[in-house]
Structure 1
Amino acid sequence: MRISTYCAVLLCIVAQCFAASHKSRNTCGYDSCNLGQANKLNVHIVPHTHDDVGWLKTVDQYYYGARNDIQHASVQYILDSVIEELVQNPERRFIYVEIAFFWRWWNQQSNDTRNFVKELVNAGRLEFISGGWCMHDEATTYYNSIIDQHTLGAEFLRDQFGECARPKIGWQIDPFGHSREVASLFAQMGFDGLFFARADYQDSDLRNSTKTMEMIWKGSANLGRQSWLFTGLLADFYDPPDSLCFDRSCGDQPIIDDPSLNDYNVPERVQTFIDAAHDQAYGFATNHIMMTMGSDFHYENANLWFKNLDKLIKYVNAQQTNGSDVNVFYSTPSCYVYALNKVDRAWTSKTDDFFPLGDTPHGFWTGYFTSRAALKRYERHSNNILQATRQLNALSQINLRNDIFYLSEAMGIVQHHDAISGTEKQNVADDYAQRLSEGIDKAADVINNAYAKLLPNESEIPMNATQFLCQYSNISECLPIEGQKQFTLTLWNPTIHPIIHHVRVPVTKEYLIRDPMGSIVSAEYVPISTTTRNIPGRKSSAQNQYIFTTSLPALGFSTYYFEAKSGEKIRKQKTTTTRNEACTLENEYIRVEFDDHGNLHQIINLEKGIAVPFTTQGFYWYTSFAGNNSRPEFQSSGAYVFRPLTSKIQPVSTTRTITCTKTETVQSASIVFNAWASQEVSLFHGMRTVEIEWTVGPVPIDDNVGKEIIIRYDTDIESASKYYTDANGREVLERIRNYRPTWNYSIVENVSGNYYPINSRIWIKDHTRQLTVLIDRSEGGASILDGSIEIMVHRRIAHDDSLGINEPLNETAFGEGLVVRGKHFLILESPENSSRIHRVGAQQLFMHPIATYALPQTSYANYSKAYHQTWSALSESMPLNVHLLTLDQLNPRQFLIRVEHYFELNEDDIYSHPVEVDLQAFFKSLGTITDLTELTLGANMPLSQLHRLDWRTTDKESSHIDMPKYSSLKDTIVTLNPMQIKTFQVTL
């Protein structure tokens, strides 16, 4: 039956049922929880469905139930059926997680149905858990995007349902390893707990045998108790106990409770459940356990589930009169956490993370750290555009937030643990990329409208100068400007600090370039490399590019005017080129030396007088193990799993060529290893980092041998088995080769078992030197030998790892293997001075200037009169250790702003201290702040109203912290401690 047809009748039934319930259910949250019986084993039954936001099918196909020949799944019918069945019994409960699906369903419902669902939410019977747009991946996601996708879901829930829909528990039951940073972010969002299902098999076995499946996870080394989060591993993955699945997709026996029938099975079914409860309780420390009743896309026919669970609860509890100690009832993860909190016991604690994940001795899920490297970069690029678009929309006050939603929603979907992870089918990956592309197109319209207000000079009548993005600039292609007599380049700096930025513009003719002051820019006119020109799919006829240095204002723009000067002599900078000769790249800070065979010999920090010799640097590959996946020892490498055939790496080529080009602005060494692997090492004037732009592909697999491509940096640094990787772009964790902090690790795979996710940076160090590598997307990496860093940049595999997608990770484009291009940045410093450079460098790489072009059909003289050519939203300089994470206009008078301190404790003598920032400075062009309310990180409630559960650890520590008592701030100056993010709703 349809909800809308019977809504009035059902609402009446619900009211009657509430009145008859053993406990008043007219309230939500912890007050609606059944806490069980003190002298019983309390089994919290949690009905749930796990709905992947894309995996084997696209998100659209999953929602509507299309392509059921691939996988039978239809989310719209799940939600229809669950809501319909909840009314039949007031004890029934259900949790829902993926707001990307619920939002779609909600938009299709009548007002009557919506009101009915609100009643269920207000009664605590339909509970939203986690509340993000998706169940995000934890290894390959950046913290900004994690926060955004949870904010997107939290905003929807708050606006539609109010406080009763505010999630209190993180529910990460399917991601493939778990990040300490995610625990910290969840705690800052106000969550009271977190549950997940996947952990290393050695870790899980130990925890189960020592009753430490649940713990207090200390999510930050900097934020203290603010980051602590109660965390638990689920007992049966996230599935029901064996033989107790009642979904249409299962073959288990239903409860047959007519004693007159030969198939009457209540005693057997009851005993099976009681045995399962006791088995599960073995690994847990209290008389409360949680049973997940559901799995992937379950409850399409919710009647099957609830009818049998009703019977199971009835008959199991009836056995208490016969001495059974099992008490079973419908519950939710939040009620389970509340029950544990009321037990008031001390819990063990954890300070490291849950990477890498090994589910068998040979099955380390570390390949997905790099899988679909192009999509990983596209997601990071899309986030860059999203943040800049929000800023421009807010500062121009054009009120086009609804148009930005398309990119926000696409970004929310792509954070899914089978999206950015690279563990989806190829057609689904294509769908994710298409969504990002369409979202960027909408964002480009917003950018153009914003510039239409910010650029024109009020004293002049503005001329047409429509702004557009060039999405293929990474392969030196921008077709709309090719052959134009004049065009402009406008660069938006999304950071709150002035920056020096180096620009490359592909052109088909020579131009004079004027900076915002009208002066001629000293630009280098150099050839585009043959490697770039030969990338499959490149359509540009540009053979050359301009390279020049720009100085961009904080949170502002600068425009550069290009004007062709045919027939006029253009003064060119002196350029020298050598081929297959030893060469040295050098500026005032760094020297990089190559021999005549293209081998990187050493890097020298001229300021500090320290050097790092390189024994090897370049491209290598591991042979992918090609097993049949019949047993753990035959596990193949695939989209999820990285398993090399041996630990020996093979060079992509035994020879290479080197071409060195030196100009006043940049010196570079272009090194070609073979037809499908090359790198260009560049050193710009005034920079303390060495840029390596790498190009890999098409990786050949005609030999049916999968190849995992790495870039290796081998030095003489005495790193003593230690290396350091960031967590989701924020705090850094120490890694030790062949070691786990919380259990005695048995070494089986000595390469893949040492791989960790890198989202921003990795480094090794000794007493005097630290070599840091910054990266432009999430990648997997390790230090397999002392003094060595290796980063996997591309994977092309001929076999599947039998973990679900049933196809090899074999990306192609234009009829051949996919070409992937990216950048690494090398920093050589003394350990005590390195953080300032790599922290700032990582932030600028993360929030890169956004380039837009325009084709004004007028001279520079007329253009300069009609348009502002530089502008900043800030009137004062911001502290270097402060970052503007979010600036989003909510409505004409209200804004959401997040600021963060992005240095860690004891990292820098100057910048690792608390800092003050005046929020009014961000709104100087918009008006005066009249009200300032601090919110939780998810921006869905005032921080002063947050009351988290308190916990005790076995170290006799308490998680209690005093929350601020104010509801709003009148003083616009706020203090940030190291690694602290503060979120505010600002009213002007």
Structure 2
Amino acid sequence: MTSCPWLARLVVFGPPPYALPLTTGSVPPDPSPAPPPWPVDVAGGPNTNALADALAIAQHHDAVSGTERQHVAADYALRISIGYTEAEKLVASSLAFLTASRSSVGQEKAVANFQQCPLLNISYCPPSEAVLFDGKSLVVVIYNPLGWKREEVVRIPVSSEKVIVKDSGGRTVESQLLPLSNATLRIRNRYVKAYLGKAPSETLKYWLAFSASVPPLGFSTYTVSIAKPTGPSSTISMVYTSEDSTSNSIEVGQGNLRLLYSADEGKLTHYVNNRNKVTASTEQSYSYYSGNDGTDKDPQASGAYVFRPNDTFSINSESQVQLTIVRGPLLDEVHQQLSPWVSQITRVYKGKEHAELEFTIGPIPIDDGIGKEITTRITTSLKTNKTFYTDSNGRDFIKRIRDFRTDWDLQVNQPVAGNYYPVNLGIYVQDDNAELSLLVDRSVGGSSLVDGQIELMLHRRLLHDDVRGVGEVLNETVCVQNECEGLTIQGKFYLRIDHLGEGAKWRRSVGQEIYSPLLLAFAEQDGDNWMNSHVSTFSGIDSFYNFPSNIAIITLQELENGQVLLRLAHLYETGEDKDYSVLTSVELKKLFPNKKISKVTEMNLSANQERATMEKKRLAWKVEGSAEEETKVVRGGPVDPATLVVELAPMEIRTFFIDFDRIKMFGS
């Protein structure tokens, strides 16, 4: 694990490393790459060293910002891909060990051959797509890396519509079959070929969605099998279009959250939460900025380093946008084809109170000789007084005021670019009554250029170098058999509106879930035999202990000397939330229930000095113009060696080396 995963997020963009070529435009890694240009620990077995090294290299400022040359971006992607492949082997062997039954000592254990799906983000997963014969079942092990229990809807591609899902207790789980959109199928077919050199062998029709409950730092097991002709099976979603509607308004959502669309124009009009009684007029649109070519009065072109827009243009369909509405027991979807190269799927889950918007953009057309920078805008009636908030590397949120800086008198020359900020976790606006929040699955640019509105920059394709050192045009292409076209991206952002002061809970909890998605591993086995001969559910912490909802485990890593490196982070700022912006305790004994802790040593953030030693050398800075009491920062107290309780104050991160009693550890 990286010591600062919110920094690594700038490189990994939320999804696993294999998503890099699709989301950033790097050349897809060779599926059979050459030996890595650094030593690999073969004798020690699979490990995460190569991935850690690749991520460390990718912390370079050009990799983080995307201002490297294309061949350098390809090298970053190759290194991360090699590291991921090695880590994938480690995950498979770890899950095989954890799921193997240890009830019969001395008997041969059934070892599972787990597979993962690196291309699941483009709807390609051979294990789940395989046709099941002879009573075989697809075993899906779902791992949760967070410290709290998660209830989520999992989606996997399947090739059969007669399937049934069961949990570890053999109980049928509610499931739903969703159609694949044309844009999703196009990305699947083209990019699988770009990755693997061949097209997918199966023609998919459905996503299989089912509800999963996964314990903290643990896994749950589900089986997918062919349904009996007379038995229950997954519900096939109802599909209809806006032309079928007899009303001027179309309502989407079956739980607390409802989205209202105009049947005539095919646009979002209202956001309604029946639980907290939030109702807001809400619109969404797509636009693009034409990039400055550097030849007019302004010699600075828009490029990799510089965002220098000319005019803005709305992306409108040549005809009325027809909505395709998909309804089922778990979630509703709205499919929109906004232009030949922009489409979107909006998902409203029955058990969630936010909307998930999945966009597909590209190839951006450049036949008109104009570079384009694509944005989406969410517009409400909130009176935000030029103020908005963006995260700082996924941690604290910073107040931004349009056309204003607190440290100097700002001369506004670029009213658009001068108000753009990096968004790694989220962005929000608020007024006296409500707040609108957006969370992202990758690093983007964001702003609020109009009161009540949030704007996100999602994709760019430009035709001129900005002459800032790259020496290349930001015009990424993907080639398949010498046929090249501009990069297509597919990503997500998440939308929610709350009463004032209530949005932080959602931003912090769901933000962690986006950053640390559930990990899926697949195996094909006899379903009944699997549950009888394997461990089907597991949690790494005490089953009776509730990990605090405002604390995240940033690092949990075993070191070569047997110590464990642990980092805990408080997710909330002071005053951010009335319930969670408080001093919080974590019981280390409950975090390691089967081990006896012999020693806990607190370190500095980078774990290269003991905290006690470092604080003796720390300089006491006096801030000009501030009172003495204002400079004091609240911190958690020292760890009592008897109780082993760690205190964390808002925004605090604490790092520890933990030693265990080796006899107790090996005897457990």
Equivalent runs, 1:512-531 vs 2, <5 Å: 512-531=164-183
Change (3 A) 1:376 1:897: farther
2:15 corresponds in structure 1 to: none
1:985 corresponds in structure 2 to: 657
How far off its partner does 1:447 sit?
A: 0.6
Once residues 657 and 920 of structure 1 are traced to their aligned partners in structure 2, the CA distance between those partners, rounded to angstroms, is 57
Once residues 380 and 509 of structure 2 are traced to their aligned partners in structure 1, the CA distance between those partners, rounded to angstroms, is 25
Once residues 844 and 464 of structure 1 are traced to their aligned partners in structure 2, the CA distance between those partners, rounded to angstroms, is 30
Quick check: 2:163–2:233 contact (8 Å CA) kept in 1? no
1:881 corresponds in structure 2 to: 550
How far off its partner does 1:143 sit?
A: 4.0
Q: Which amino acid aligns with 1:604?
A: V
Find out whether 1:609 has 2:277 as its counterpart. yes
Whose helix fraction is larger, Structure 1's or Structure 2's? 1
Find out whether 1:585 has 2:249 as its counterpart. no
Once residues 806 and 429 of structure 1 are traced to their aligned partners in structure 2, the CA distance between those partners, rounded to angstroms, is 14
Change (3 A) 1:801 1:377: closer
Once residues 961 and 783 of structure 1 are traced to their aligned partners in structure 2, the CA distance between those partners, rounded to angstroms, is 31
2:622 corresponds in structure 1 to: 952
Once residues 837 and 948 of structure 1 are traced to their aligned partners in structure 2, the CA distance between those partners, rounded to angstroms, is 36
Post-superposition CA distance 1:205-231 (Å, at most 9, x none): xxxxxxxxxxxxxxxxxxxxxxxxxxx
Change (3 A) 1:589 1:878: same
Once residues 570 and 542 of structure 1 are traced to their aligned partners in structure 2, the CA distance between those partners, rounded to angstroms, is 22
2:53 corresponds in structure 1 to: 409
Post-superposition CA distance 1:521-575 (Å, at most 9, x none): 2110222112211122244422212111111111100111122347666534363
Q: Which amino acid aligns with 1:983?
A: T
Find out whether 1:729 has 2:391 as its counterpart. no
Q: Which amino acid aligns with 1:557?
A: F
1:105 corresponds in structure 2 to: none
How far off its partner does 1:588 sit?
A: 3.1
Find out whether 1:469 has 2:101 as its counterpart. no
Quick check: 2:465–2:474 contact (8 Å CA) kept in 1? yes
Q: Which amino acid aligns with 2:181?
A: S
Q: In structure 1, which of residues 849, 868, 879 is the aligned counterpart of residue 535 of structure 2?
A: 868
2:222 corresponds in structure 1 to: 560
Quick check: 1:376–1:420 contact (8 Å CA) kept in 2? no
How far off its partner does 1:428 sit?
A: 1.1
Post-superposition CA distance 1:778-813 (Å, at most 9, x none): 100111111111100111111111111111111111
Find out whether 1:706 has 2:358 as its counterpart. no
Once residues 644 and 552 of structure 1 are traced to their aligned partners in structure 2, the CA distance between those partners, rounded to angstroms, is 46
Q: Which amino acid aligns with 1:374?
A: T
- Normalising by structure 2, we get a TM-score of 0.85
Equivalent runs, 1:25-40 vs 2, <5 Å: none
Change (3 A) 1:572 1:667: same
Post-superposition CA distance 1:827-886 (Å, at most 9, x none): 110112111111111111111111111223xx2121111111111011111111111111
Post-superposition CA distance 1:297-353 (Å, at most 9, x none): xxxxxxxxxxxxxxxxxxxxxxxxxxxxxxxxxxxxxxxxxxxxxxxxxxxxxxxxx
Find out whether 1:650 has 2:319 as its counterpart. no
- Normalising by structure 1, we get a TM-score of 0.58
Q: CA RMSD in A?
A: 2.8
Q: Which amino acid aligns with 1:920?
A: K
Q: Which amino acid aligns with 2:191?
A: G
Change (3 A) 1:592 1:966: closer
Q: In structure 2, which of residues 618, 627, 646 is the aligned counterpart of residue 974 of structure 1?
A: 646
Once residues 378 and 718 of structure 1 are traced to their aligned partners in structure 2, the CA distance between those partners, rounded to angstroms, is 44
How far off its partner does 1:775 sit?
A: 0.4
Q: Which amino acid aligns with 1:722?
A: T
Change (3 A) 1:376 1:694: same
Change (3 A) 1:981 1:802: same
2:487 corresponds in structure 1 to: 818
How far off its partner does 1:441 sit?
A: 0.5
Find out whether 1:550 has 2:202 as its counterpart. no
Larger radius of gyration: 1
Equivalent runs, 1:687-706 vs 2, <5 Å: 687-706=352-371
Change (3 A) 1:577 1:543: closer
Once residues 362 and 130 of structure 2 are traced to their aligned partners in structure 1, the CA distance between those partners, rounded to angstroms, is 30
Find out whether 1:662 has 2:327 as its counterpart. yes
2:445 corresponds in structure 1 to: 780
Q: In structure 2, which of residues 55, 59, 74 is the aligned counterpart of residue 430 of structure 1?
A: 74
**Secondary structure in 1 matching 2:566:** strand
Q: Which amino acid aligns with 2:6?
A: Y
1:269 corresponds in structure 2 to: none
Q: In structure 2, which of residues 154, 159, 169 is the aligned counterpart of residue 508 of structure 1?
A: 159
1:311 corresponds in structure 2 to: none
Consecutive unaligned residues in structure 2, runs of 5 or more: 13-19, 29-42, 193-198, 661-668
Q: In structure 1, which of residues 636, 643, 667 is the aligned counterpart of residue 301 of structure 2?
A: 636
1:217 corresponds in structure 2 to: none
Find out whether 1:943 has 2:611 as its counterpart. yes
2:6 corresponds in structure 1 to: 142
Change (3 A) 1:378 1:496: farther
**Secondary structure in 2 matching 1:786:** coil
**Secondary structure in 2 matching 1:950:** coil
1:850 corresponds in structure 2 to: 519
**Secondary structure in 1 matching 2:333:** strand
Once residues 636 and 257 of structure 2 are traced to their aligned partners in structure 1, the CA distance between those partners, rounded to angstroms, is 48
Change (3 A) 1:965 1:906: closer
How far off its partner does 1:952 sit?
A: 2.1
**Secondary structure in 2 matching 1:695:** strand
Q: Which amino acid aligns with 2:534?
A: Y
Quick check: 1:554–1:874 contact (8 Å CA) kept in 2? yes
How far off its partner does 1:403 sit?
A: 1.9
How far off its partner does 1:638 sit?
A: 0.4
Post-superposition CA distance 1:151-174 (Å, at most 9, x none): xxxxxxxxxxxxxxxxxxxxxxxx
**Secondary structure in 2 matching 1:724:** strand
Quick check: 2:371–2:462 contact (8 Å CA) kept in 1? yes
How far off its partner does 1:891 sit?
A: 3.1
**Secondary structure in 1 matching 2:559:** strand
Quick check: 2:638–2:646 contact (8 Å CA) kept in 1? no
Quick check: 2:10–2:64 contact (8 Å CA) kept in 1? no
Change (3 A) 1:968 1:656: same
How many residues are treated as equivalent by the alignment? 603
Q: In structure 2, which of residues 404, 421, 443 is the aligned counterpart of residue 756 of structure 1?
A: 421
Q: Which amino acid aligns with 1:950?
A: A
Q: In structure 1, which of residues 892, 897, 911 is the aligned counterpart of residue 580 of structure 2?
A: 911
1:769 corresponds in structure 2 to: 434
Equivalent runs, 1:916-931 vs 2, <5 Å: 916-925=585-594, 927-931=595-599
Quick check: 1:717–1:769 contact (8 Å CA) kept in 2? yes
Identity %: 30
Quick check: 1:583–1:660 contact (8 Å CA) kept in 2? no
Quick check: 1:895–1:987 contact (8 Å CA) kept in 2? yes
Change (3 A) 1:574 1:428: closer
Q: Which amino acid aligns with 1:849?
A: L
How far off its partner does 1:576 sit?
A: 2.5
Once residues 957 and 401 of structure 1 are traced to their aligned partners in structure 2, the CA distance between those partners, rounded to angstroms, is 56
Higher mean alpha-carbon deviation, 840-849 vs 478-487, is at 478-487
2:103 corresponds in structure 1 to: 459
Find out whether 1:832 has 2:494 as its counterpart. no
Find out whether 1:497 has 2:148 as its counterpart. yes
2:39 corresponds in structure 1 to: none
Once residues 444 and 702 of structure 1 are traced to their aligned partners in structure 2, the CA distance between those partners, rounded to angstroms, is 42
Find out whether 1:481 has 2:128 as its counterpart. yes
Whose strand fraction is larger, Structure 1's or Structure 2's? 2
Post-superposition CA distance 1:880-915 (Å, at most 9, x none): 111111100013631000111101111111111101
Equivalent runs, 1:614-625 vs 2, <5 Å: 614=282, 616-625=283-292
Change (3 A) 1:735 1:962: closer
How far off its partner does 1:475 sit?
A: 1.8
Consecutive unaligned residues in structure 1, runs of 5 or more: 1-131, 149-370, 380-398
Q: Which amino acid aligns with 1:588?
A: G
How far off its partner does 1:967 sit?
A: 10
How far off its partner does 1:966 sit?
A: 7.6
Find out whether 1:537 has 2:191 as its counterpart. yes
Higher mean alpha-carbon deviation, 659-668 vs 463-472, is at 463-472
Find out whether 1:446 has 2:90 as its counterpart. yes
